[in-house]
Amino acid sequence: MGKRLGVWLTALMMAGLGSLSAWAQDARGTLVFDMKPFTSEVKLKEKVEKQLKTGGVEWGLGEGQMVVSLLAKKFIKFDLPNLTRYGESKSVELEPGTYRITCIGFVPEGGMSVEKVLKKGVYINQDIQSFEVVGGKTTTIEVSPTIQKKSTFFIKFFTPELLVKIIEDGVVKKEGVINERTDKSIGWDDYQGPLKF
């Protein structure tokens, strides 16, 4: 009798562990978007520094991708509900899987008309990085912004360079600037993808 009870309890425990394992696979993972306080490569006047401290980066998630934008969201056909300010962080629960990062960059070029600014100053870095979300674990997108000064038509602009570290389960997996304009960047007029109205 005692031996049979022991076998039965062991079977029950194994079944419970199997259910627990299945639950862990189905569990959502946590994504933390961690925006560090900005640094600057140029000396900032006190007024400019105060204005910049109220800024941040807009981003959203959907269909296996994260979109980070430096362009006003009224021009973008993608839900960007999150504004994470410098020195703040936000966490969201996500389904496990691989997510691609696309960054919409902006440099103040092109003149005074909206059309020219979009044409010359906006570009898309499509699928520039990717990250994994694992059930029951935390993935961190750590963003370190460095303010750069740019000038056009005698107007000074201060824009952030966004250095991103992908940290999965406490380990840095990837690192790179996501809004750098390179040969692989797609100009606004050349982009024909779903992020544009």
Render pLDDT for 62-108 as a digit per residue (tens, 0 to 9).
999 999 999 999 999 999 999 999 999 999 999 999 999 999 999 88
Of 59, 61, 56, nearest to 88 by C-alpha is: 56
Determine contact, residues 36/88, Cβ cutoff 8 Å.
Answer: no
Indicate the domain borders of the chain.
Answer: 28-187
pTM: 0.84
Q: What is the DSSP letter of 126?
A: E
Determine contact, residues 178/68, Cβ cutoff 8 Å.
Answer: yes
The CA-atom distances, in angstroms, between 162 and each of 26, 105, 116 are: 33, 10, 24
The full 3-state SS of 128-145, as one line of letters, equals EEEEEECCCCEEEEEEEE
Tell me the pLDDT of the chain averaged across its residues.
Answer: 87
> Within 10 Å of residue 173's Cβ, how many Cβ atoms?
14
Compute the distance between CA of residue 151 and CA of residue 160 in angstroms, rounded to an integer.
14
Quick: pLDDT tens for 37-55. 999 988 888 988 888 888 8
Of 37, 77, 36, nearest to 60 by C-alpha is: 77
pLDDT for the residue 41: 87
For the chain, give the number of residues.
197
Quick: pLDDT tens for 149-174. 876 665 677 889 999 999 998 899 99
H/E stretch holding 156 reads strand 155-168
Of 120, 126, 139, nearest to 67 by C-alpha is: 126
